[in-house]
Amino acid sequence: MIRPLVFLKKPPKIDFMAFHKAGLAISVLLTVGSIVLFLIHGLNYGIDFSGGTRIDVRTVQTADLADMRAKLGALHLGEISLQNFGSDKDVMIRVPRQPGDDKAQAQAVETVKKTLGEGVDFRNVESVGPKVGGELIWKGVLATVLALIAIAAYVWFRFEWQFGVGAMISTFHDTVTTVGLFSLLQIEFNLTTLAAILTVAGYSINDTVVIYDRMRETMRKYKTMDFRTLINLALNETLSRTILTVSTVALAVLALLVYGGEVLRGFSIAMLWGILIGTYSSLFIAAPILYYVRPKRVADPKKADAAAEAEKAS
């Protein structure tokens, strides 16, 4: 018989609700601070959003990305990114959009070609204009908003509208604070980062749904239990699963952060932050919100409590 992996043999008795007001206050500060940072400093948009030039090259031998990055960095053309694709000889170079018209972009490409020398085969050159970048920004925002609405609708359909409100607020909090982190650190924000934010939203709601499901079971089982006690019970009973999930996912993301290179750096940072803030929001936002927006409790509590006591005795 296969036994499930359990981190905590017995559910602890942590009074999470004792800290829920402080948790909500911290969340409000983080959310407002993230919005202010975004409005003041903005984001360090990558080529995907700000525009620029993509150059695909192939080297005779295995590409020395460190050497190529050092040579191109000395050109002062902005933050140039390099990554392998296909094989260790194929390199994709991304050059930020240069001030000026198309001639300025073409000049930057020629400068890159001269710097890398004749041992490099330039196979493809593509330019992304600011208009296309603006469209990608709009579509990215639209995709994020639609994802949040779809998540709230799913939770509403599966549980009750009160659960949907909690899920919507907590997921919005996770998304906004992740954007705020990128604004604070000025890490390059590109399509890969946007994918990480959507992944964070999915991860966060997964943890929230598990807690909500346990809360619903507890509500059915103990129909007269104080709601504050009920929330604490559900959080403590799912804490082992939460710790195991966070630990395993964090290990995988840390491996990407350490060994994934510069290309996956933004994605890894967004995911690592999302794991931490998503777990925090599930414990101190999604669950406590139900304390104020309470779902319906089933009637006939005497029979329900009698059945619960009989189940305990057996």
Q: What is the pLDDT of residues 76-109, one digit of tens each?
A: 777 787 777 767 778 878 887 777 777 877 888 8
Domain ranges of the chain: 16-42+133-305, 54-128
The mean pLDDT of 283-298, rounded to a whole number, is 80
Helix (H) / strand (E) containing 69: helix 65-73
CATH number of 54-128: 3.30.70.3400
> 119 pLDDT exceeds 80?
no
- pTM of the predicted protein model: 0.74
Higher-scoring residue by pLDDT: 158, 252: 252
- pLDDT-derived band at 301, boundaries 50, 70, 90: very low
The mean pLDDT of 190-196, rounded to a whole number, is 83
Q: Which residues on adjacent β-strands are paired with residue 82? A: 93
Q: Looking up tokens 């208009």, which residue turns up?
A: 131
Residue 28, pLDDT score: 92
Average pLDDT of the residues of the chain: 80
The mean pLDDT of 108-134, rounded to a whole number, is 77
Q: Which CA distances in Å does 236 have to 155, 226, 249? A: 21, 15, 20
Write down how long the chain is: 314
Tell me the three state secondary structure of residue 96.
strand
Residue 298, pLDDT score: 55
> 14 pLDDT exceeds 90?
no
> 284 pLDDT exceeds 80?
yes
Q: Report the Cα 66 to chain-centroid distance in Å.
A: 29
Contact call for residues 284 and 269 (beta carbons, < 8 A): no
Pairing between β-strand 188-189 and β-strand 44-45 as defined by DSSP bridges: parallel
- pLDDT-derived band at 32, boundaries 50, 70, 90: very high
Integer Cα distance of 246 and 224 in angstroms? 33
Residue-wise DSSP of 79-134: --EEEEESEEEEEEEEEEPPSSSHHHHHHHHHHHHHHH-TTEEEEEEEEE-HHHHH
Nearest by Cα to 287 from 163, 155, 159, 158: 163
Integer Cα distance of 256 and 242 in angstroms? 21
pLDDT digits (tens, 9 = 90+) for 255-265: 888 887 767 78
Q: Which fold is adopted by the domain 16-42+133-305?
A: Multidrug efflux transporter AcrB transmembrane fold (1.20.1640)
The token duo for 192 is: 């890969």
Q: Taking phi first (over 0 means left), then psi (-120 to 50 degrees means alpha), and beta for anything else, what does residue 309 get?
A: alpha
Contact call for residues 82 and 88 (beta carbons, < 8 A): no
